[in-house]
């Protein structure tokens, strides 16, 4: 089912976390970016998103922590061609003691379209026992401050309705 439309200016008012140019290696037999590479772009964008929350590679190495994606939902809305410039924006919806529920939006800057959305539930993890764990207080406070800003947005995000943190 196609999600309700979101105004491009609403998406681009969100924090941008990643930019890339789609390389020739991402092309499929239909002449556009293959679906497997959408996930790669969203995955690459996940690292600066985590860093914005204070969960940098150095933080994780020092504390023996990491993150586990628990569920994803991708909507492919408009094609992306080789050489197109894309930017990824994000919006948080909810946080529990161990999880966040968020969405990333891939904007095709070359064509001025919303190319895809990625909805995710992610958990904080203690890698010493390989289990989910509560966010440390400082990280939780950072997430909560950003979440408070995102809750003030005047538009409904096109969440799938079956995922929850």
DSSP 94-112: EE-SSEEEEEEEEEETTTT
CB atoms near residue 3 (< 10 Å): 16
Q: Per the domain annotation, does 52 fall within a domain? A: yes
pLDDT, block means (10 residues), the chain with 165 residues: 83 96 95 94 97 96 96 94 98 96 97 96 97 97 96 90 72
pTM for the predicted model, two decimal places = 0.94
Predicted confidence at residue 2, as pLDDT, reads 72
Nearest to 108 by CA among 78, 149, 64, 134: 78
Total number of domains in the chain:
1
Domain that holds residue 112: 36-151
Q: Per the domain annotation, does 20 fall within a domain? A: no
Q: Per the domain annotation, does 112 fall within a domain? A: yes
Q: Per the domain annotation, does 15 fall within a domain? A: no
Q: Is the distance from CB of 100 to CB of 4 less than 8 angstroms?
A: no
Instruction: List pLDDT tens digits, range 21-45.
Output: 999 999 999 999 999 999 999 999 9
Q: Per the domain annotation, does 21 fall within a domain? A: no
Buried b (16+ CB within 10 A) or exposed e, 131-142: ebbebeeebbeb
Q: Per the domain annotation, does 28 fall within a domain? A: no
CB atoms near residue 69 (< 10 Å): 12
What's the whole-number average pLDDT of the chain?
94
Instruction: List for the chain the helix, strand, coil content (%; round to 5).
Output: 30, 35, 35
What CATH number has the domain bearing residue 41?
3.10.129.10
Predicted confidence at residue 159, as pLDDT, reads 87
Q: Is the distance from CB of 60 to CB of 13 less than 8 angstroms?
A: no
Instruction: List pLDDT tens digits, range 139-157.
Output: 999 999 999 999 999 998 8
Q: Per the domain annotation, does 139 fall within a domain? A: yes
Q: Per the domain annotation, does 142 fall within a domain? A: yes
Predicted confidence at residue 89, as pLDDT, reads 98
């Amino acid at each position: 089912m196609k999600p309700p439309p979101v105004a491009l200016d609403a998406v681009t008012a969100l924090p941008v976390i990643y930019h890339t140019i789609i390389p020739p290696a991402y092309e499929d037999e239909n002449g556009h970016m293959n679906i497997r590479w959408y996930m790669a772009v969203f995955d690459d964008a996940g690292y600066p998103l985590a860093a914005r929350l204070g969960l940098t590679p150095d933080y994780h190495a020092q504390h023996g922590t990491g993150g586990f994606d628990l569920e994803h939902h991708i909507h492919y809305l408009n094609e992306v061609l080789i050489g197109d410039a894309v930017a990824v924006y994000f919006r948080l919806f909810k946080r529990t003691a161990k999880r966040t529920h968020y969405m990333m939006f891939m904007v095709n800057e070359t064509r001025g379209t919303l190319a895809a959305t990625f909805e995710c539930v992610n958990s904080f993890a203690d890698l010493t026992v390989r289990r989910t764990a509560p966010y440390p207080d400082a990280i939780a406070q950072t997430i909560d401050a950003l979440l408070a800003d995102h809750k003030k947005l005047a538009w409904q995000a096109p969440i799938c309705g079956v995922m929850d943190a």
